Amino acid sequence: MYRRVLLGLSGTSLGQGGFDFSRAGQIASEVAQAAHTTQLAVVIGGGNLWRGRRDGGAMDRVIADQVGMLATAMNALVLGDLLGRHGVSVTVFQAPGVTSFGERYTPMAARRALDQGQTVVLGGGNGAPFFTTDTTAALRGLELNVELVLKATNVDGVYDRDPRTGPATKFDRLSYRQLLALGLGVIDAAAAALLERELPLIVFDMFKPGNLSKVLSGQPVGTWVS
């Protein structure tokens, strides 16, 4: 059983093109169940509300990324509320300079909250443009002294090709370099560089009921990257 873990959630885990509260409620239920046994920090993306890189270059990149950070801040508030409705004691932290809706993130404040039994939800990215949710999750994982970083997806691990388009082979274990060499975009190079010598990563299907708790109990779920 892991003591402290960081979970990276995409914004689309809360819906497509907005909020799907049935889908989001399922995610909150899984996180709430796991929070009873493990200190959890959750980094949430903003893809359900904003996809700045799909604008064809019409917007300035810095502005587009700032809008994306605001989207993650909104998602953090929604997820925090849903977790509270499931009986979880939760603190929402927002990156400095992004929004005042939530506690101002510092590593020490978030560590204290985890030590006090709070589930920590982290919004606003890392407060600067040009960084993905993956990189933010890696950075926050290192800052909060977690034992493991989890990347939640809707596929049960890493495959040699997209398993939704045809036959594919699943990997039980990979190195970070092997993961990047596959070219599947599971995580970006900056996140891999941060994690490579410090923390393992598990890529798993978050939408299969009970999977999160299984991962945290050490059961062989998803793909282990180290």
Average pLDDT over residues 189-197: 89
Strand order in the sheet with 39-44: 103-104, 90-94, 119-123, 39-44, 4-9, 148-153, 201-205, 223-225, 173-174
User: Contact at 8 Å (CB) between 76 and 92?
Assistant: yes
Residue 80 has pLDDT above 80, yes or no: yes
Model confidence over 88-123: pLDDT tens digits? Answer: 999 999 998 887 888 999 999 999 999 999 999 999
For residue 165, what pLDDT is reported? 79
Query: Residue 114 has which token pair?
Result: 């985890």
Question: Out of 4-8, 163-167, 181-185, 200-204, which region has the weakest mean confidence (pLDDT)?
Answer: 163-167
What is the value of pTM for the model shown? Answer: 0.93
Strands (E), the chain: 4-9, 39-44, 90-94, 103-104, 119-123, 148-153, 158-159, 170-171, 173-174, 201-205, 223-225
For residue 142, what pLDDT is reported? 96
Residue 214 has pLDDT above 70, yes or no: yes
Query: Residue 71 has which token pair?
Result: 């989207």
Q: Is 2 helix (H, G, I), strand (E, B) or coil?
A: coil
Provide the total of helices (H) and of strands (E) in the chain, helices listed first: 7, 11
For residue 44, what pLDDT is reported? 95
Average pLDDT over residues 56-77: 87
Residue 200 has pLDDT above 60, yes or no: yes
Residue 85 has pLDDT above 90, yes or no: yes
Sorted by where each starts, the structural domains of the chain and their CATH numbers stand as 4-225 (3.40.1160.10)
For the chain, give the mean pLDDT: 89
For residue 95, what pLDDT is reported? 94
Residues β-bridged to residue 103 = 93
For residue 148, what pLDDT is reported? 94
Residues β-bridged to residue 4 = 39
Model confidence over 140-184: pLDDT tens digits? Answer: 999 999 999 999 988 888 887 777 777 888 888 998 898 888 887
